[in-house]
């Protein structure tokens, strides 16, 4: 007994000592420590050979050059290209996050899909491309057989003039439907005002880099306006203390956006009064004789009072402005001080290279035509058109036209029918397409006039500022086809999804980024092999045409999309341009043609290979400075008084009465003013006492609000007074908040005639009193856990008016009320 216990104790003690001294415990401790350093659930990226593939980003029409770093077949990083004219080096946050769009499986369609669940639920089954194309082709050819090809419609989100958009329009035309509509873009506004003032059909070309005074009317220069890579680079140049004299930047905007805050001068005028302000500045400039008389006298029309052929006297722009837009009158409209308007006008007119630019935030949406014209007039007054740092006049990119389409009976009959959206009609003579009209027509009519709608590179259900009307329309349209590669809100409504490649998997062109001042053509190339069973929509259209019928097929004689790209690029070869870029030699530096425009190719094929390799074709900014034969208006002059408008109004008036014509066109003034840029107060029949405040959506460079979803990376850059958890915040001025007894962080319902959304309240002195600012880009109902249900989408409550003359939607002026929860 004694012994055994003692032995037992000895044994225990010895055992303990033994293990402690043995390496075992130490080895184990070490091993599990090593295990924590290689946890199986911590990803371990495979390595391999590193390569860089040059391409072009086309997440927006900006067309920045990108260089994608690859490890074997994986793309691991996107960087900006320094050997690219648009964006020397940098890119925007969206482009930087692109790989998350490519590789996030849960937001992409792995192949063609047929809907099985109810519309909007996003329940699909995968089918083969054969089935998918057959279903669609049958549907279209049946409509053609039935003699109602116009029941086919398409919504196209591709950039204007890009080969994809040409293909889509061509498909519709060849099928015989006039109902090709595009998603809104400022480019429409630019095109119209250029046409009316200058008679030119080229893109708006702002020579920003060479300007020394930039007067921006609402352009979100730092919010993603134009080509972000290019504009932000310009911003760097303007503020480079080492470089040339710093340019002065003036921002006209109601909210302290990044642009307004970072500008040298922030002009906080009431939203929608840009035209008044511009004309007020014109008033001062004219009154003080600060305008360029050489330009005015020799190259403009309608400045002074004039008498028309029929002997009628007409008021000139000068007398209109002097009479109606004195600083005091304008001050009343804009809420600014008269003195400030005067000083602003003088600063502008006295600058060496001043430029007045017009926009609305990112320019993903329309602007006002009269506003745009009024702003552009300022450039005319100081004669800064086709001059360094001014507005340049360019022809459209010299791309070859595609061969004429063979016309058959169905074709003629279909195209004979009026567009459902009335674009180009007497009422909307200048509009190219009016998607809101289409929507309303479909909603209003008992049976949808559209039977089959094809949606390309667009997510209108989410992006259209129409209070959710487009979604309602889709509910009514019998057959909806989406070509989106992403599981977005619109494709959730689709009966058939024919997923496109993402931008890193396909070859597609970028045609003249918005606002760029020199001819530019970018060509992206596949950076990685397509990850899933998707197809380039261009190829799909060609394949589809084959299956519809021979007439339609005859419109697409190419075997693939690249064939079409090449066919159009022929024109570039004729025009001759550079296909390589040396960043010592910026494309915007004018060198009297000296800019090495001697190109380094001899045959088209050679040029094409080089374009494919470098992803770019451009002509350096043209150096000539002269106004001879620039303008293509009826009388070859810059028209302060637009004869085109006059004709249009008269024609329409001929059909009805002058009054109703103006009324339907949304014009409140009469007489000669109608044909001149003037200020139109936003009309609205909303009961102001019920909706005393106004809601303006605002855009951010670091949040995608277009059809491309935000890469999750971007949410790291969003501040927690913009999004917290699932609550997005409306920015409101503290004064306004106290008026309504609201305080920082309150949850509120924002009510408009079109609906209501819930948001948090974030007090900000950067917000104009009386206005509620809601961020665009939140409130997705599709995609995955990163985006779904985060915040609200202001578009849902936007109740848009119509812009005079163009009929575009006025999306930035919704009357709302705040209710605390």
Q: Where are the alpha helices (DSSP H) in 255-398?
A: 258-262, 274-287, 293-299, 317-324, 327-334, 338-350, 369-381
Minimal CA–CA distance to 330: which of 681, 637, 11, 728? 681
Identify any residues that bridge with 756 across adjacent strands, giving them in sequence order: 751
| Binding of other proteins by 83 (CB under 8 A) | no
Q: Does 653 bind other proteins (CB under 8 A)?
A: no
Looking at the Cβ atoms of 39 and 311, the one nearer to other proteins is 39
Helix (H, G, I), strand (E, B) or coil at 128: coil
Pair of tokens at residue 407: 């016309």
Contacts with other proteins in 783-812 (CB under 8 A)?
784-786
Interacting positions 693-722 with other proteins (CB under 8 A): 701-702, 711-720
Candidate ranges 72-80, 289-297, 659-667, 669-677; the one touching other proteins (CB under 8 A): 72-80
Question: 335 or 403: whose CB is closer to other proteins?
Answer: 335
Burial class of residue 563 in the structure, from the number of CB atoms within 10 Å of its CB (0-12 exposed, 13-18 middle, 19+ buried): middle
- Of the candidate spans 186-194, 268-276, 312-320, 644-652, the one that interacts with other proteins by CB under 8 A turns out to be 268-276
**Residue 55 binds other proteins (CB under 8 A):** no
The enclosing H or E element of 818 equals strand 814-820
Q: Is the dihedral of CA 774, 776, 778, 779 positive or negative?
A: positive
What is the total count of residues that contact other proteins (CB under 8 A)?
97
Using CB under 8 A as the binding rule, whether residue 86 contacts other proteins is answered as: no
Our finding on whether 163 is near other proteins (CB under 8 A) is no
Smaller CB separation from other proteins, 156 or 699: 699
Q: How far apart are the first and last CA of the chain?
A: 80
User: DSSP string spanning 642-697?
Assistant: -HHHHHHHHHHHHHS-HHHHHHHHT----GGGGGS----PPP----TTTS-EEEEE
Tokens of 139: 């549907």
Binding to other proteins in span 191-210, by CB under 8 A: none
Distance of CA 105 to the CA centre of its chain: 26
Helix and strand element counts for the chain (H, E): 27, 32
3-state helix, strand, coil in the chain (%, to 5): 35, 20, 45
Q: How far is the CB of 727 from other proteins (least distance, A)?
A: 9
CB of 242 to other proteins, least distance (A): 9
Per-residue x/- track, 599-638, other proteins (CB under 8 A): ----------------------------------------
Q: Which is nearer to other proteins, 230 or 441 (CB)?
A: 230
Of the candidate residues 25, 77, 656, 688, the single one contacting other proteins (CB under 8 A):
77
Using only the alpha carbons of the chain, give its radius of gyration.
Answer: 30
CB 493 to other proteins: min, Å: 24
Q: Which of residues 298-357 bind other proteins (CB under 8 A)?
A: 334-337, 340, 344
CB 326 to other proteins: min, Å: 17
Near other proteins in 87-116, by CB under 8 A: 87, 89-93, 96-97, 99-100, 102-106
CB of 682 to other proteins, least distance (A): 17
269 lies in the binding site for other proteins (CB under 8 A): yes
Bridge partners for 67 per DSSP: 54, 79
Among the residue ranges 43-51, 53-61, 369-377, 613-621, the one whose residues contact other proteins (CB under 8 A):
43-51
Strand-pair partners of 181 = 155
Residue with structure tokens 């300007």? 211
Which of these segments, 189-197, 452-460, 602-610, 764-772, binds other proteins (CB under 8 A)? 764-772
State how far the Cα of 265 lies from the Cα of 278, in Å rounded to an integer: 16
Among 109, 225, 235, 317, binds other proteins (CB under 8 A): 235
Q: Among 50, 53, 156, which residue's Cα sits nearest to residue 505?
A: 53
**Among positions 3, 41, 116, 311, the unique one binding other proteins when judged by CB under 8 A:** 41
Least distance from C-beta 399 to other proteins, angstroms?
Answer: 28
Site for other proteins in 246-265 (CB under 8 A): 254, 256, 258, 261-262, 264-265
Q: Which of 143, 232, 278, 464 binds other proteins (CB under 8 A)?
A: 232
Per CB under 8 A, which of residues 398..417 are in contact with other proteins? none
Tell which residue, 596, 545, 642, has the closest CA to residue 198: 642
Can you read off the two tokens belonging to residue 381? 């007054």
Cα dihedral 738, 739, 741, 743 sign: negative
Decide if residue 777 touches other proteins (CB under 8 A): no
SS3 category, 369: helix
CB of 265 to other proteins, least distance (A): 5
CB of 180 closer than 8 Å to CB of 173: yes
Q: What is the 3-state secondary structure (H, E, C) of 388-447?
A: CCCEECCCCCCCCCCCCCCCCHHHHHHHHCCCCCCECCCCECCCCCCHHHHHHHHHHCCC
The distance of closest approach from Cβ of residue 183 to other proteins in the complex, given in angstroms and rounded to an integer, is 24
Spatial separation of the C-alpha atoms in residues 675 and 13, rounded to whole Å: 106
Site string for other proteins, 549-578 (x = CB under 8 A): ------------------------------
Dihedral (Cα; 434, 440, 445, 450), 10-degree rounding:
50
CB of 372 to other proteins, least distance (A): 21
C-alpha distance from residue 411 to each of 20, 141, 235 (Å): 92, 12, 50
Shortest separation between residue 523's beta carbon and other proteins, angstroms:
22
Q: Is residue 46 near other proteins by the rule CB under 8 A?
A: yes
Of 33 and 821, nearer to other proteins (C-beta) is 33
Minimum CB separation of residue 421 from other proteins in Å reads 36
762 binds other proteins (CB under 8 A): no
C-beta of 88 vs 429, nearer to other proteins: 88
- Among left, alpha and beta (phi > 0; psi -120 to 50; other), residue 144 is alpha
Q: Toward other proteins, which CB reaches closer, 576 or 769?
A: 769
Of 123, 131, 201, 240, the residue at the interface with other proteins (CB under 8 A) is 240
Between 651 and 765, whose beta carbon lies closer to other proteins? 765
Choices 3-11, 195-203, 318-326, 390-398 (CB under 8 A): range interacting with other proteins? 3-11
Least distance to other proteins from the beta carbon of 453, Å?
31
Question: Is residue 584 part of the contact set for other proteins (CB under 8 A)?
Answer: no
Measured from the CB atom, is 79 or 472 closer to other proteins? 79
Binding piece for other proteins, criterion CB under 8 A, among 31-39, 474-482, 635-643, 654-662: 31-39
């Amino acid at each position: 007994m004694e012994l055994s216990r003692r032995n037992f104790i000895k044994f225990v003690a010895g055992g303990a000592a033994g293990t402690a001294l043995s390496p075992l415990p130490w080895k184990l401790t070490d091993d599990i420590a090593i295990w924590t350093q290689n946890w199986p659930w911590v990803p371990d990226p495979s390595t391999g050979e590193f390569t860089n593939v040059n391409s072009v980003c086309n997440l927006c029409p900006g067309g920045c050059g990108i260089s994608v770093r690859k490890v074997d077949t994986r793309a691991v990083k996107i960087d900006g290209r320094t050997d690219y004219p648009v964006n020397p080096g940098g890119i925007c946050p969206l482009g930087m996050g692109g790989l998350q769009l490519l590789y996030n499986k849960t937001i992409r369609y792995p192949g063609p899909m047929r809907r099985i669940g109810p519309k909007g639920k996003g329940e699909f089954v995968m089918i083969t491309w054969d089935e998918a194309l057959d279903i669609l082709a049958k549907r279209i050819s049946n409509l053609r057989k039935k003699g109602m090809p116009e029941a086919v419609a398409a919504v196209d989100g591709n950039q204007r003039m890009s080969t994809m958009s040409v293909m889509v329009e061509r498909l519709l035309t060849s099928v015989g439907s006039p109902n090709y509509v595009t998603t809104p873009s400022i480019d429409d506004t630019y095109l119209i005002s250029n046409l009316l003032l200058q008679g030119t059909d080229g893109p708006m070309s702002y020579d920003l880099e060479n300007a020394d005074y930039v007067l921006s009317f609402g352009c979100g220069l730092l919010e993603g306006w134009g080509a972000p890579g290019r504009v932000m680079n310009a911003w760097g140049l303007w503020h480079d203390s080492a470089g040339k004299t710093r340019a002065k930047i003036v921002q006209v905007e109601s909210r302290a956006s990044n642009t307004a805050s970072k500008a040298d001068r922030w002009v906080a005028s009431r939203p929608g009064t840009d035209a008044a302000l511009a004309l007020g500045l014109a008033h001062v400039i004219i009154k003080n004789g600060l305008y360029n008389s050489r330009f005015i006298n020799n190259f403009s029309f309608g400045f002074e009072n004039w008498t028309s052929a029929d002997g009628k006297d007409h008021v000139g722009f000068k007398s209109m402005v002097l009479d109606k837009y004195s600083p005091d009158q304008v001050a009343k409209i804009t809420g600014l001080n008269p003195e400030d308007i005067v000083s602003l006008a003088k600063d502008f007119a006295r600058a060496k290279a001043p430029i007045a630019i017009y926009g609305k935030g990112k320019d993903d949406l329309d602007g006002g035509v009269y506003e745009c014209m009024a702003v552009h007039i300022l450039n005319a007054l100081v004669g800064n058109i086709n001059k360094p740092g001014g507005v340049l006049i360019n022809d459209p990119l010299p791309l070859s036209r595609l061969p004429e389409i063979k016309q058959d009976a169905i074709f003629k009959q279909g195209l004979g029918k009026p567009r459902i959206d009335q674009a180009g009609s007497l009422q909307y003579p200048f509009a190219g397409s009016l998607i809101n009209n289409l929507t309303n027509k479909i909603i209003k009519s008992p049976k949808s006039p559209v039977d089959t709608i094809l949606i390309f590179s667009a997510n209108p259900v989410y992006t259209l500022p129409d209070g959710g009307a487009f979604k309602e329309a889709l509910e009514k349209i019998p057959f909806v086809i989406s070509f989106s590669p992403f599981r977005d809100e619109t494709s959730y409504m689709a009966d058939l999804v024919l997923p496109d490649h993402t931008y890193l998997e396909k070859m597609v062109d970028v045609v003249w980024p918005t606002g760029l001042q020199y001819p530019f053509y970018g060509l992206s190339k596949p950076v990685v092999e397509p990850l899933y069973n998707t197809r380039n929509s261009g190829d799909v259209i060609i394949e589809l045409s084959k299956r519809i019928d021979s007439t339609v097929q005859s419109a697409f004689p190419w075997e693939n999309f690249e064939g079409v790209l090449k066919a159009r690029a022929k024109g570039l070869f004729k025009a001759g341009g550079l296909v390589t870029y040396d960043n010592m030699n910026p494309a915007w530096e004018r060198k009297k043609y000296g800019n090495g425009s001697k190109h380094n190719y001899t045959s088209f094929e050679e040029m094409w290979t080089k374009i494919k390799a470098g992803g770019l074709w451009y002509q350096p900014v043209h150096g000539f400075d002269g106004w001879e034969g620039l303008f293509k208006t009826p009388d070859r002059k810059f028209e302060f008084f637009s004869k085109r408008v006059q004709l249009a109004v008269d024609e329409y008036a001929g059909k009805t009465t002058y009054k109703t014509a103006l009324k339907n066109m949304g014009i409140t003034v009469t007489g000669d003013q109608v044909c001149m840029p003037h200020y139109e107060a936003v009309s609205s029949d909303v009961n102001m006492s019920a909706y005393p405040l106004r809601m303006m959506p605002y855009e951010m460079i670091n949040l995608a609000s277009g059809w491309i979803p935000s890469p999750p990376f971007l949410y790291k850059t969003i501040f927690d007074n913009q999004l917290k958890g699932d609550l997005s915040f409306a920015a409101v001025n503290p004064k306004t908040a106290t008026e309504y007894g609201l305080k920082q962080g309150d949850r509120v319902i924002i009510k408009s005639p079109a609906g209501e959304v819930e948001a948090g309240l974030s007090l900000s002195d950067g917000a104009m009193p009386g206005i509620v600012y809601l961020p665009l880009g939140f409130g997705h109902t599709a995609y995955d856990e990163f985006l779904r249900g985060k915040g609200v989408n202001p578009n849902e409550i936007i109740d848009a008016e119509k812009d005079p003359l163009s009929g575009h939607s006025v999306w930035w002026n919704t009357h709302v009320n705040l209710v605390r929860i």
